[in-house]
């Protein structure tokens, strides 16, 4: 199963998670930006897509990128987020990503990974993601791939 990680990250919180997953899986982690030339996902079976949350929405670069995708074959997507724990914003943002991808005929897996991510100057969740959350992200990705490869 060929996997890739794509992520958008403003402060680096989601990048820490993405890099750990990539290290565990031995695959690339690509940062999605507002640049018009972006990674082609055609060669992959499983795409891990991650983002921080902003006012209950995913990073706008990720939204723009996913909206711009046109893929010939359906892939499996596994979503991950870092967030401040604001009630319901996780469900809102994950729902938005899912709707975009399913609207394009892509399969989004039921399970996702979430870790807290603090923001400089704001007390909420300062110091997150903690080392154990980062480690857990890598384990989650590895176990998910193993499970999919068995099924």
Ligand X SMILES: Cc1cc2nc3c(=O)[nH]c(=O)nc-3n(C[C@H](O)[C@H](O)[C@H](O)COP(=O)(O)O)c2cc1C
Question: Phi, psi at residue 49, to the nearest 5°?
Answer: -120, 120
Stretch that binds ligand X, among 50-58, 66-74, 103-111, 140-148 (CB under 6 A): 50-58
Question: Minimum distance between the CB of residue 74 and ligand X, rounded to whole angstroms?
Answer: 27
Which of 6, 76, 113, 117 is close enough to bind ligand X by CB under 6 A?
A: 117
Please compute, for residue 43, the number of CA atoms within 13 A of its CA located in the half-sphere on the CB side. 6
Nearer to ligand X, 86 or 99 (CB): 86
Which of 1, 42, 85, 149 is close enough to bind ligand X by CB under 6 A?
A: 85
- What's the rounded Cα separation, in Å, for the pair 20 and 51? 14
Size of the site for ligand X (CB under 6 A): 21
Other beta carbons within 10 Å of 140:
22
Question: Minimum distance between the CB of residue 8 and ligand X, rounded to whole angstroms?
Answer: 7
CB 92 within 8 A of CB 124: no
CB 32 within 8 A of CB 26: no
Stretch that binds ligand X, among 40-48, 68-76, 84-92, 102-110 (CB under 6 A): 84-92
Closest CA to 129 of 8, 38, 7, 13: 13
DSSP state of 136: H
Q: Contact between 82 and ligand X (CB under 6 A)?
A: yes
Q: Contact between 52 and ligand X (CB under 6 A)?
A: yes
Nearer to ligand X, 4 or 53 (CB): 53
Greatest alpha-carbon span in the chain: 45
Q: Residues interacting with ligand X, by CB under 6 A?
A: 9-14, 52-56, 59, 82-86, 89, 117-119
């Amino acid at each position: 199963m060929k996997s890739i990680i794509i992520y958008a990250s403003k402060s680096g919180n989601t990048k820490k998670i993405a890099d750990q997953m990539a290290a565990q899986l031995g695959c690339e982690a690509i940062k999605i930006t507002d640049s018009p030339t972006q990674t082609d996902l055609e060669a992959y079976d499983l795409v891990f897509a991650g983002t921080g949350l902003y006012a209950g929405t995913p990073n706008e670069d990720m939204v723009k990128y996913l909206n711009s995708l046109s893929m010939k074959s359906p892939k499996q997507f596994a979503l991950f987020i870092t967030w401040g724990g604001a009630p319901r914003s996780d469900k809102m943002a994950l729902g938005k990503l899912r709707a975009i991808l399913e609207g394009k005929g892509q399969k989004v897996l039921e399970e996702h990974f979430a870790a807290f991510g603090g923001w400089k100057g704001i007390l909420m969740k300062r110091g997150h993601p903690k080392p154990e959350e980062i480690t857990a992200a890598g384990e989650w990705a590895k176990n998910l791939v193993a499970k999919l490869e068995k099924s």
